[in-house]
Every structure is written in C-alpha cells, then in structure tokens.
Amino acid sequence: MTLTHLPTAVSRWSSQPFGLVSNAEGFVFLSAYLVGRIYARKTGDGLAGLRAPLWRRAFKIYGYHLGILAFAFTVAAAIAVYAQRPMLANLLDFYLAQPVLAIVDAVFLIYRPAFFDILPMYVLFMLITPYLLIHGARRGWLSLFSVSLLIWVGAQFGIRVLLHDGFNTISPWPLPPLRHLGAFNFYAWQLLWISGLWLGQQHVRSPQSIDQMPRAAVNTAVILAVSFLVLRYVVVVYPQHTSLWWRYGFNKWDLGPLRMINFIALTVVFIRYGNRLTRRLPTQPLQLLGRASLPVFSAHVVLSLLVLGLVRDDTQGLSPALQVFVIVFTFAVLFAIALRDQQRQHPAGTFAGDVSGQA
C-alpha cells in the first residue's frame, strides 16, 4: 500500500502484485478476519460486553483519522497552495474551495478525499461488528450473507448513486459530490468485511474445516489465481486492450464480480499454502509492521502527502535517484514507528506473537 501511494515508478507494479486484486482488499479482509478471530470467544459476554472493546477500537481509529486529516488540512494544504503543487491541490480541491464545510463533513466521515477513505469505512465496519458477530454466533451467518450479497449486487447497479441523489433531493443539507465521498463503495465492500468476520469466527470454532478444503476447490483456485495473475500483467503491458466489460468486471471501487472471483481464489490459495510460504520467507519485518498497523498506516499517509509535495506537476515526476531515496526513507520511518510502538506496548520484550495488535 505504501509503495502504491508513493509517486514512484514502483507504484505501477505494486498496486496489484498478485492478480487483479489490490492491497486494500487484503487490508480490509485481514482486519475483519482478525477481529472475528479475536472476538469470537467473547460473544458469550453479550452485546454490551462485545460492543465496549470494539467501539473503543473504532474511536481509536477515528482519532488517528482525525489526526492525519488535521495534517492534510494544514501542512499539506499549505504546501499545495504556496508551493503550487497540483497533485496535492487536486487531492484537496473540495477543502481548498470550501474549507469550513469540508472540515465539518470530514469530522462526520462524509468528506473522504483520496488516502482518507479507507479508515472511515474501517470505523463504520467496527461500529456494526458487535451486532454482526452476535447475530452470527446466535442465529448463524446464512441470513447475514444473504442480505450482504443482495447489498453487494445493488452496489453493482448503482445503489450508491441512487441513495446519494435521493438524499440530496430531500435533505436541507446536501451531501458533497459523490467523488468527494471516498472512492470505496461501502455497499460493496461490506461483503468483504462480513466474509472476513465469518472466516475468523469459523477458524476459532472449527479450525480443521478451514484448513481441510476439497482438493478440487484448491486446484480450481490455483488455476484461477494463475490465470488472473497473467491477465494482470498483460493489462500493465497492453492497457489499451481493456474494454468496458473488463473494467466493470474488475472494478476496484465497487468490487466487481470478476475481482471478487479473483479474491476468493487467492484467499483459498493462501489458506492452503500460506504456512509453507511463511516458513520459507523472512516475514519478521512484515509482522513488525503488521503489529503496529494503525500508526504505521497513518504515518504512511502523512509521508505520502509530503512526497506528493515534492512533485512539481503531473507531467514531471521525481528523478530516479529521488524515487529510490523516497522509498528507502519512507520505510525507514515506518519501521522506526513500528519498533517504537512495540517497545511502548511491550517494554520488556514480552510479545508472544498474538494477533490482537492488528485488530
């Protein structure tokens, strides 16, 4: 995600490295999976007992979101205006045009410019999660999946636009234009969140049912994953050959149907073969970043904005040497933040490898 947001030549390749699925899908799904896995054991505490820690986490995420927004509306906006940086100015155009309205809408998670649209969605997901987990534990997940799937289908046919325009027709305080409400379509991405919650809860209740998948399903997933991987890099080399149906089927913001198939295939492959890969690869640095995911994510947004402030115009990017420096410097800062966060939470080195920090 960091490599994708930094304005370097690497971003073209890092946004969807494993197929026509982006890093954002992994971020949302893994977050939901860990929440489901951690809090599945606490559903016996009832709604109130489950709601307290999840809402506390939601408000913590909200606090981080407000912090990086404050940086964007002050430092980044000043750089955009006084240094005349068009990339930053385009990113904050609604705020620069109507600052008071933008601040109010941002506080209420309505105005969500690029880079600032995934944490608000995360907050909303965390707020509804206690109800989803309780319902899933007591009444099963079939009804939740049925409703979620119907909402996802509606998202494919423009329910977001319909509700936005309908609200503006009857409300005395209209919403900003749709492009200022965040690129991620909540009505589509909720299916990914609910799927992650279910898988996490299922892993706690019956771990063998997750690990022991039919051979035919695994083989099919491998074939699909490899096929989509090839298509992904064909599109990078020959982008002019993508057609309208292609762009609809793999639409990122609405989680198009072909993208969902690609994601399901990758999920099955990683569940089946993930342990083999992690045993052979040096994953400790990634685990360090993952355990401090919230401060690291917030820092990467701040750093990305600062780097965008180095770009003078859309046609002239950073020099190759500066791109290398930016990448090295950014990750050095992120690892320093992750180390500091780990030392703050576990000053005596008592970390035992639990996953609660990510959730």
Domain boundaries, the chain: 12-281, 282-359
CA distances from 101 to 80, 167, 177 (A): 19, 17, 13
- At residue 348, the pLDDT reads 59
Helices (H), 72-141: 77-82, 86-91, 93-97, 99-107, 118-139
Q: What is the pLDDT at residue 13?
A: 85
Taking all residues of the chain, what is their mean pLDDT, rounded to a whole number?
A: 89
Are 300 and 5 in contact, with CB atoms under 8 Å apart? yes
Find where tokens 């009857």 sit.
170
Q: Is the pLDDT of residue 211 over 70?
A: no
pLDDT mean over 294-301: 95
pLDDT of residue 277: 76
Confirm if 121 and 182 have CB atoms less than 8 A apart.
yes
Which residue in the block uniquely carries the two structure tokens 């989509």? 228
Q: The pTM is what?
A: 0.90
CA 31 vs CA 37, 61, 117, 235: distances in Å: 10, 12, 16, 29
* pLDDT value of residue 355: 42
**Which pLDDT tens digit goes with each residue over 120-141?**
999 999 999 999 999 998 899 9
Q: Report the alpha-carbon distance of residue 189 to residue 29 in Å, rounded.
A: 9
* Cβ proximity of 262 and 221 under 8 Å: no
Taking Cα atoms as reference points, which of 128, 129, 27 lies closest to residue 358? 27
* Contacts (Cβ under 8 Å, ≥6 apart) of 84: none
pLDDT the model gives residue 350: 43
Decide: residue 245, CB within 10 A, 0-12 exposed, 13-18 middle, 19+ buried: exposed
Nearest to 123 by CA among 110, 104, 142: 110
d(CA 342, CA 309) in angstroms, rounded, equals 30
Give residue 238's identity as a one-letter amino acid code.
Y
* Rg value, the chain, Cα: 21
Are the beta carbons of 117 and 184 closer than 8 angstroms? yes
Please report, for residues 134, 200, 277, 349, the alpha-carbon distance to residue 41 in angstroms, rounded to integers and kept in the order given: 11, 11, 28, 26
For residues 73 and 96, give the distance between their C-alpha atoms in angstroms, rounded to a whole number: 9
Q: Compute the average pLDDT of residues 293-298.
A: 94
- Position 206 scores a pLDDT of 77
Q: For residue 153, what pLDDT band results from cuts at 50, 70 and 90? A: very high
Q: What is the pLDDT of residues 68-120, one digit of tens each?
A: 999 999 999 999 999 999 889 999 999 999 999 999 999 999 999 989 999 99
> What is the average pLDDT across 34-44?
88
Examine the pLDDT at 359 and tell me if it is beyond 60: no
Which of 13-17, 103-107, 148-152 is predicted least confidently?
13-17
Instruction: Supply the pLDDT for residue 351.
Output: 42
Whole-number pLDDT of residue 356: 39
Report the pLDDT value the prediction gives residue 280, as an integer from 0 to 100. 77
Q: Provide the pLDDT confidence category of residue 243 given band limits of 50, 70 and 90.
A: low
Residue 210's pLDDT band (cuts 50, 70, 90)? low
User: If DSSP states are collapsed to H, E and C, what string results for 281-300?
Assistant: CCCHHHHHHHHCHHHHHHHH
Asked if 1 contacts 300 with a C-beta cutoff of 8 angstroms, the reply is: yes
pLDDT interval class at 12 (50, 70, 90): confident
- φ and ψ at 48, to 5 degrees? -65, -40
